[in-house]
Amino acid sequence: MKKIFTLVAVIATAMVANAQSFVFTHQGKVLENGATVEVKAHEYLYEHTTKTGKTIQEWLVDCETDETFLLQNNTGSDIAYEGVLTVPERDNNWDLQWCLGKTCKPVTELPMTMNEVLPANETQRVNYHAAIEPQIGDYGSMLSTITINANGESRTVNIRFTYDESSNGIADVQNVNVKEVARYAANGSLLTAPQAGLNIVRMSDGSVRKVVVK
């Protein structure tokens, strides 16, 4: 009986030692530390109106991780953590925004650090987007890194964007009679006026546009 108890105790200790208090997940799968996730970048039509009433349209590329990219708390306690975003190659014309949980901030310098709290036994989104002109740089080979530090542990995930020419945010130019009916920030909050960064615009015909406001 004593030998059996000792064996069980050793196994239990090993399981605790190997337990990870938080992990990255993507599309329902737990990612190994240092894993690389490929995310498709999409081309879309950026349309804005000048003060003189002239409508200007140009194509941009949106590199954006989605909300299936999550940080998961495996403990029964809240975890205060530090997140660090690194993008090795960046042009000043890029519009970058980073979101941890309910907090979204424009990226003004790199690497960028944010602090958040991951609630007990919950998951929290970890994503960012970059809107860039197609001719700027080779974003397809860009490898970004997000590192989370907490409880003396560190987890890193790499994000590689691949460009999908066949996918456009807007298939064609909208009818001039279509009007804007609502505007949202990247975190989903309703805006009363255009805000610098990525705006989600809902039109009267039911379509949705991603607009970069500078």
**Intervals of the chain under pLDDT 70:** 1-18, 88-94, 134-142, 164-178, 204-207
Cβ neighbours of residue 169 closer than 8 Å, sequence gap 6 or more: 42, 43, 44, 45, 62, 209, 210
pTM for the full predicted model: 0.65
SS3 149: strand
How do residues 104-118 score in pLDDT, each as one tens digit?
Answer: 888 888 889 999 999
pLDDT of residue 160: 83
CA 82 to chain centre: 16
Handedness of CA 89, 31, 72, 64 (dihedral sign): positive
Tokens of 151: 């409880």
Q: How far apart are CA 33 and CA 123, in angstroms?
A: 17
pLDDT of residue 139: 58
pLDDT of residue 155: 96
| Domain extent listing, the chain | 22-174
- Give the CATH number of domain 22-174; options: 1.10.287.130, 3.40.50.300, 2.60.40.10, 2.40.50.140: 2.60.40.10
Task: Give the Å distances, CA to CA, from 128 to 59, 63, 78, 97, 213.
Answer: 20, 8, 23, 5, 16
Half-sphere CA count of 50, side-chain side, radius 13 A: 5
Tokens of 34: 């240092």
Strand 180-185, strand 197-203: pairing = antiparallel
